[in-house]
Amino acid sequence: MSITTLALIILIPVLVWRIYSRLKSQMTRQRSIMSRHYTGLLVFGALVLVPAASLLDRPYGLVALAGGAVMGVLLGRYGLRRTRFEDTDEGYYFTPDRRLGVLVGMVLVARIIYLGIEIYMNQGSNLPNPRITDSPVTMYCLGLTGAYFAAYSFGLMRWRQQKRRAIGTM
């Protein structure tokens, strides 16, 4: 076993722990800022749509991406129901469901780490390195995560627009 392999065996759990703790710290009470919701919708929507454009000739990957996106939207709606919304004098706040958000985020992180390990193991062999769009499992994870956070951002935007309309009718 080489020193590089040993370093990876030690560093991967540290990397997973850091990403997990970062995601966990982001799933706390937050101020609702419309520009962040728009950005989340655009970025995570693009996370689903860009690979979909390159998968038009690979139906299994496209179906997996679409299936993950459907499941992500359903989980996003469920996550919004479990979110605590606050309308205070200081502004609008929301507290997302920590477990669900971290779980969905870590699904994609785990799959990307798996791809990194696969690329590392292919070094020195004649096997081609896998692309992110090659595996239907990866596409499912990408669709799930992208659609979850896009649907969640969309739901937050709708909540704020409803608050704005309620203020206008008073």
Percentage of the residues of the chain whose pLDDT score is greater than 90 = 72
Per-residue pLDDT, averaged over 107-112, amounts to 94
pLDDT(98) > 60 = yes
Burial class (CB in 10 A: 0-12, 13-18, 19+), 126: exposed
pLDDT digits (tens, 9 = 90+) for 38-80: 999 999 999 999 999 999 999 999 999 999 999 999 999 999 9
10 and 88 in contact (C-beta within 8 Å)? no
CA 158 to each of CA 32, 35, 38, 99, 118: distance values in angstroms, whole numbers, following the listed order: 12, 13, 11, 23, 41
What's the pLDDT score for residue 170? 54
Q: Are 122 and 129 in contact (CB under 8 A)?
A: yes
pLDDT attached to residue 108: 94
pLDDT at 1 over 90: no
Distance CA 129, CA 91 (A): 49
Q: Give the number of other CB atoms < 10 A from CB of residue 146.
A: 26
